[in-house]
Amino acid sequence: MSNQVCIKNESQCLILEPLENEYLSVAFDSDGIRFGVKTFIYNDAQALTLFFKDLAENWQGWSGPKVWKSLESDFRLEATHNGLSYMNLKVSLIKNQGEDSESQFVGNLKIELGSLVKVASDVEITFKSKCHLKTDMD
């Protein structure tokens, strides 16, 4: 069982790694550039797994964006569906939020619809093992 999940396409990867004490390490790799944050997820781990499960269950399409954000809004996901064969996952990360050294990153990850079930399953398995979530697999 892996301690992290990588949601990827050919050149990009969103890495989610649950940490101790209700924290989550998030990194976005794109063509050799990496931006990462450590965010407090408190009880949001369950909502994050449900976000990915909802995307997988509605792979045939939805209207408008589906959004999930961390408690402190330093990690945000916005999923949109192109109506054909993929969805776009807009990833927004803020490091040192509210400080003079604050930096922000926004990246877009194009994900094939056929992979959404595996993505949702990988997220659920990873978060269940680390965050002790109750899931459909119980």
pTM, to two decimals? 0.89
Q: pLDDT tens digit string along 74-132? A: 999 999 998 888 999 999 999 988 888 889 999 999 999 999 999 999 999 998 866 65
**Within a domain: 125:** yes
Q: Is residue 137 part of a domain?
A: no
Does residue 100 sit within a domain?
A: yes
Contact indicator for 117, 111 with CB cutoff of 8 Å:
no
How many Å apart are CA 16 and CA 38, to the nearest integer? Answer: 10
Q: Is residue 107 part of a domain?
A: yes
Encode pLDDT of 103-117 as tens digits.
999 999 999 999 999
Residue 99 within a domain: yes
In-domain check, residue 101: yes
pLDDT at 30 (0 to 100): 92
Return the CATH number at 110.
2.30.31
Q: Please, is 83 exposed, middle or buried when counting C-beta atoms within 10 Å of its C-beta (0-12, 13-18, 19+)?
A: exposed
Task: Please check whether residue 136 lies inside any domain of the structure.
Answer: no
- The dihedral of CA 89, 129, 25, 76: what is its sign? positive
d(CA 28, CA 22): 20
Per-residue pLDDT tens digits for 26-55? 999 998 899 999 999 877 788 999 999 999
Flag whether 138 is in a domain. Answer: no
In the 3-class helix/strand/coil scheme, how is the chain assigned residue by residue? CCCCEEEECCCEEEEEEEECCCEEEEEEEECCEEEEEEEECCCHHHHHHHHHHHHHHCCCCCCCCEEEECCCCCEEEEEEECCCCEEEEEEEEEECCCCCCCEEEEEEEEEEHHHHHHHHHHHHHHHHHHHCCCCCCC
In the chain, the number of structural domains is 1
The parent domain of residue 94 ranges over 5-131
Instruction: Say how far apart CA 127 and CA 111 lie, in whole Å.
Output: 20
